[in-house]
Structure 1
Amino acid sequence: MLPQTLESHSAMFYSLGRRRWLAGGMALGLAPLLPACSKPVPVMRVGSIVFPGYELMFMARERGLIDSRKVRLIEMLANTDTLRALAAGQLEGAALTLDEMMSARADGVDLRVVMVIDISQGADVVMARRGVTLDNLGGKRIAVEEGAMGAVMLSSLLRAAQLRVEEVKKVAMTLDSSLKVFSTGKVDAIVTAEPWATKLEAQGAQRIFDSSRIPGRITDVLAVRADVLDTQADAIRALVAAHFEARQFFLAQPAQASIHMAARLQTPVEEVPASLRGLQLPDAAENRRLLEKGGNFHRTALELQRVMFEAGLLRKVSQPHELVDTRFLPA
Structure 2
Amino acid sequence: MLRLLRLPCSLLAVLGLTWLLAGCSPRYQPPLTLGTNTWIGYEPLYLARELGYYDGANLRLVELASTTQTLDALRIGTLDMAAVTLDEALLLAQEGQPISVLWVLNISAGADALIAKPAITALAQLRGKRIGVEQTATGAYMLDAALQQAGLQVQDITIVPLPLDEHFSAWQANAIDAVVTFDPARQKLLHTGGLELFTSQDIPGQIVDVLVARQSALDCCRPQIAQVIAGQQRALQYLRQTPDQAWQHMAPRQGVAAENVADALSGIELPDARMNRQLLTDPNTGLPATTRQLVQTMQQNHLLHSPPDTAALIRADFAVEAAP
Unaligned 5+ segments in structure 1 are 1-34
2:294 maps to 304
* Letter in structure 1 aligned against 2:151: Q
2:310 maps to 320
Tell me, yes or no, if the aligned pair for 2:86 and 2:209 is still in contact at 8 Å: yes
Q: After the TM superposition, which of the residue ranges 229-238 and 302-311 deviates more from structure 2?
A: 302-311
1:147 maps to 136
* Letter in structure 2 aligned against 1:314: L
CA deviations over 1:49-80 (Å, ceiling 9, x no partner): 23321121121112111144432222234333
1:209 maps to 198
Report the structure, 1 or 2, having the larger helix content: 2
1:189 corresponds, among 151, 163, 178, to: 178
2:113 maps to 125
Q: For 1:51-130, what aligned pairs fall within 5 Å after superposition?
A: 51-128=39-116, 129-130=118-119
1:219 maps to 208
Tell me, yes or no, if the aligned pair for 2:57 and 2:227 is still in contact at 8 Å: no
Summarize the Cα distance change of 1:109–1:173 in structure 2 as closer, same or farther, 3 Å threshold: closer
2:269 maps to 280
1:167 corresponds, among 131, 156, 164, to: 156
Tell me, yes or no, if the aligned pair for 1:130 and 1:204 is still in contact at 8 Å: no
Summarize the Cα distance change of 1:139–1:110 in structure 2 as closer, same or farther, 3 Å threshold: same
Give the Å deviation of 1:264. Answer: 2.5
- Inter-partner Cα distance in structure 1 for 2:184 and 2:70: 23
Give the Å deviation of 1:109. Answer: 1.2
Give the Å deviation of 1:81. Answer: 3.4
TM-score, length-scaled by structure 2? 0.80
Give the Å deviation of 1:170. Answer: 2.7
- Inter-partner Cα distance in structure 2 for 1:117 and 1:66: 17
Give the Å deviation of 1:37. Answer: 4.6
User: SS where residue 317 of structure 2 aligns?
Assistant: coil
Q: After the TM superposition, which of the residue ranges 277-286 and 203-212 deviates more from structure 2?
A: 203-212
Unaligned 5+ segments in structure 2 are 1-22
Tell me, yes or no, if the aligned pair for 1:302 and 1:319 is still in contact at 8 Å: no
1:29 maps to none
Tell me, yes or no, if the aligned pair for 2:239 and 2:246 is still in contact at 8 Å: yes
TM-score, length-scaled by structure 1? 0.79
* Letter in structure 1 aligned against 2:230: A
- Inter-partner Cα distance in structure 2 for 1:182 and 1:39: 50
Q: After the TM superposition, which of the residue ranges 223-232 and 38-47 deviates more from structure 2?
A: 38-47
Tell me, yes or no, if the aligned pair for 1:258 and 1:272 is still in contact at 8 Å: yes
Give the Å deviation of 1:207. Answer: 2.0
- Inter-partner Cα distance in structure 1 for 2:165 and 2:247: 22
User: SS where residue 220 of structure 1 aligns?
Assistant: strand
* Letter in structure 1 aligned against 2:157: V
Tell me, yes or no, if the aligned pair for 2:68 and 2:136 is still in contact at 8 Å: no
1:8 maps to none
Tell me, yes or no, if the aligned pair for 1:99 and 1:304 is still in contact at 8 Å: yes
Q: Which has the higher contact order (CA 8 A, sep 6+)?
A: 2
Tell me, yes or no, if the aligned pair for 2:39 and 2:183 is still in contact at 8 Å: no
- Inter-partner Cα distance in structure 2 for 1:90 and 1:182: 32
Radius of gyration: which is bigger?
2
- Inter-partner Cα distance in structure 2 for 1:81 and 1:141: 24
Tell me, yes or no, if the aligned pair for 2:88 and 2:136 is still in contact at 8 Å: no
CA deviations over 1:209-236 (Å, ceiling 9, x no partner): 1111112222111101124324311111
